[in-house]
Amino acid sequence: MRGYLSSSYLVALGSNRRHHRYGAPAGVLAAALEELAALGTVSARSPVIATAPIGAAQRRFANAAALVESELDPQAMLAALQRMEREFGRRRWRRWGDRVLDLDIVLWDGGVWHSSELAIPHPEFRSRSFVLGPASGIARDWRDPVSGLSLAQLHARLTKPRPMPSGATRWKGP
């Protein structure tokens, strides 16, 4: 614990499995957003969006983001988020698999944090539209301490339409 000093965290939320109490993944995220208040003040919440499965996951995901003001230091915040995942029924056994609840610290107002269990900023958030979309909706001006770019700029770079390479033709079907 940091005591009286407060930190801001950008937390990404994801779910693609039903919960016996909260129902479909969107309901799981709504409940998790409420539970985050036990860790501090939730100052902003994104809408829940639906995204395609990735990796070994078989089901569509519900994703969201939240800004949380907390007196917990990053290591204690990670422990609290992992405890919340377990309370929702998360079992860590396969990377990229289906999960009831996934909570990740994406950014922290203290900048960069590295330990054996935690890296802030999240090492892969810059390439994930399912993180950047909701995050830029609630914290568009928050800057990545590594690249210096805002969340809005990172999201725009990721989602910007790209021209086709010269000589390529569009597929017209069979």
Predicted model pTM: 0.85
How do residues 127-148 score in pLDDT, each as one tens digit?
A: 899 999 999 999 999 999 999 9
**Residue 54 has what pLDDT?**
72
What's the token pair of residue 160? 């910007």
Which 8-state DSSP code applies to residue 156?
H
For the chain, percent of residues with pLDDT exceeding 70: 83
How do residues 1-56 score in pLDDT, each as one tens digit?
A: 444 578 999 999 999 888 888 889 999 999 999 999 999 999 999 999 988 877 66
What is the DSSP secondary-structure string of 39-106? GSEEEEEPPPEEE---TT--S-EEEEEEEEEESS-HHHHHHHHHHHHHHTT----STT---S-EEEEE
d(CA 133, CA 137): 6
